Homo-oligomer: A and B are copies of this chain.
Amino acid sequence: MTTSNPGTGDVDPAVREELARLRDSIDNIDAAVVHMLAERFKATQQVGHLKARHQLPPADPAREARQIERLRNLAENAKLDPAFAEKFLNFIIAEVIRHHERIADTTSNGATPTAN
């Protein structure tokens, strides 16, 4: 019995080339996004230190609501699922909180985590 899912070795070279072209684009985008996220965490680290130093409230629900609303609109215009954009922001914010817990641990005033 032959398989209906051949490995890429059996594939028309034109198809293999098209797949490689798309994957190169995906890899380029991933590299760009990783570098953007590195820059984003630099900024949120600074926010964390600023808030800890000035006893600013760790969470800012109004700011977060504005961020979600804005990203959902941007996503819609870019034809990206707005629900995914919101899920993505929440995923990033969870990591920011993890970073801020580390900042709070090393800050004497015992500030609680801050997300934005």
Contact = CB atoms under 8 A, between A and B. Distances in A.
Interface of A: 4-8, 11-12, 15, 18-19, 22-23, 25-27, 29-41, 43-44, 46-47, 50-51, 54-58, 60, 63, 67, 70-71, 74-75, 78-80, 84-85, 88-89, 91, 95, 109, 116
Nearest to A29: B40
Stoichiometry, as copies per complex, reads 2
Contact of A80 (B11, B32, B38, B46): B38
**Minimum-distance CB pairs A-B, first 5:** A38-B78, A38-B80, A29-B40, A5-B57, A25-B43
Nearest to A66: B27
A34 to B, nearest CB: 5
Contacts of A15: 50, 54, 56
Contacts of A75: 34, 38
Interface hub of A5, A12, A18, A71 (most chain B Cβ within 10 A): A5
B11 A54 contact: yes
A95 B86 CA distance: 13
